[in-house]
Each structure stands twice: as C-alpha cells, then as structure tokens.
Chains A and B, each alone.
Chain A
Amino acid sequence: AQKVTQAQTEISVVEKEDVTLDCVYETRDTTYYLFWYKQPPSGELVFLIRRNSFDEQNEISGRYSWNFQKSTSSFNFTITASQVVDSAVYFCALSEAVQGAQKLVFGQGTRLTINP
C-alpha cells in the first residue's frame, strides 16, 4: 500500500529564515508521481510541483526548491528566505502510474507559520 508521511505537524520560523518541509513516502511501484500542494488560509489546494519517479533532478522555482531522493524515499521541500505569505499548510502527495486512473495519497500536512 502507498503511504506518505509528513512528520512535521507544525513549523514556525521567523521571516527570511530558510525552512525545509520533509516528506517520506512508501510505494511498491517502480513508476509513480510525487506532488506538493499549498493550502493558504483561503482553503484552496494550490498545485506547486509534480515529479515522476524517473526524474531525480532537483528543481528550483524562485525561492522554492525540491530535493527528490529515491534512495531514501524522500521528496523534501525547501523555502529560501521565507516570507509571511508563505504561511500555509503544505501537503505532499503520491500517485501511482496507472493508465487512465489517478488517485492521490496525501500526507498529514505541515502547518508552516512565518512570523514577521
């Protein structure tokens, strides 16, 4: 069975600090996809990134970066120079690769608070 674990329930940092959100996953599939979503106070789940299991290159998008390591089954998310607007709940998710189907398995979420 697939499982995603976000061990950090809550993180609080001061603005401009760097912060890393951990995500560890379990799957028996050799082909799978990993996602990060952000849930701001408005409630919507905002898509941040999708990564397939064959692409282990790290990705950087502005202040956001993602470190995918198959050897440790981790897909960690780092925010550099955090800002108050980054405050949200962040979810990591996993889906298997099945033709014509997609079901996301979510972690418990990490509530990130950036203090001014």
Chain B
Amino acid sequence: EAGVTQFPSHSVIEKGQTVTLRCDPISGHDNLYWYRRVMGKEIKFLLHFVKESKQDESGMPNNRFLAERTGGTYSTLKVQPAELEDSGVYFCASSQELGLGGNTIYFGEGSWLTVV
C-alpha cells in the first residue's frame, strides 16, 4: 500500500512567486493534515481536513496560504506570494476515521521549500 506522497520534493522559488504543493494521502484516509517546520523551529500544525472540509485551520500563518482538498482526495497547499520566512519543510499526513483523537498519523517525506 502506498504511503503519503508529496510533490514536489524540493522547490526553490524567488520571493513574490507562487508555489503549489501537492499531497496524496493514504488511500481511504479521510483525514489529511498539513504541518511545516521552518528552520530551527518545531514541526507545527497548519490545518486538518476531514474529507473535503476544513476541520481546523488554526495553524495557518496568514492569508498568503491557501489549502484545498477538492473531492476529498488529494490536497494542495498554495503559497502566494512567497516570502523568505516561508522557507522550510512542509509535511503532509493522513489518518483513518478519528475516534477520540488517538489515531496514528502517517506522514509523507515532506516538500522542502526554499524562498530566495
């Protein structure tokens, strides 16, 4: 069974440009999450989809970030316009139907974003 896959694995863009990251969760997982780790900091939660709906987007840093999950399958995370402080690793993760918050969350390899 395929794990969580992310594309691109690495991206270098100039400040002010747009980047779109894609995530394909494990098949059958309704829950999809985005996390990121900027340099020297902890991995931090960005948002959580349940199917196509945003369950929790409290971690999104500002309105330059837009996440979508049309059809409840794959998800995209767009950064527009990108700023230098957006550089870091963006992780996507997925899990099966949630009970009382204790499901195992499976992560992808991350998309490494460098803004220059």
Interface residues of A (CB under 8 A from B): 31, 33, 35, 37, 42-47, 50, 52, 91, 93, 95-109
Contact = CB atoms under 8 A, between A and B. Distances in A.
Contact of A104 (B41, B45, B108): B45
B9 to A, nearest CB: 8
Interface centre among A33, A96, A101 (most CB of B within 10 A): A101
A102 B48 CA distance: 8
29 contacts: A31-B100, A43-B110, A44-B110, A45-B107, A46-B107, A47-B105, A47-B106, A47-B107, A50-B102, A50-B104, A52-B102, A91-B43, A95-B102, A97-B101, A97-B102, A98-B100, A98-B101, A99-B100, A100-B55, A101-B98, A102-B33, A102-B48, A103-B56, A104-B35, A105-B45, A106-B43, A106-B44, A107-B42, A108-B41
A7 B7 CA distance: 33
Q: Main secondary structure on chain A at its contact with chain B?
A: strand
A37 B104 CA distance: 11
A95 B95 CA distance: 14
Given A97-B101, A103-B56, 18 more contacts: A33-B101, A43-B9, A44-B108, A45-B43, A47-B104, A50-B102, A50-B104, A91-B43, A96-B101, A99-B98, A99-B101, A101-B48, A102-B48, A102-B102, A103-B48, A105-B45, A107-B42, A108-B41
B107 A101 contact: no
Closest 8 CB pairs of A and B: A45-B107, A97-B101, A106-B43, A44-B109, A43-B109, A33-B102, A97-B100, A102-B101
Given A33-B102, A47-B104, A97-B102, A102 B109 contact: no
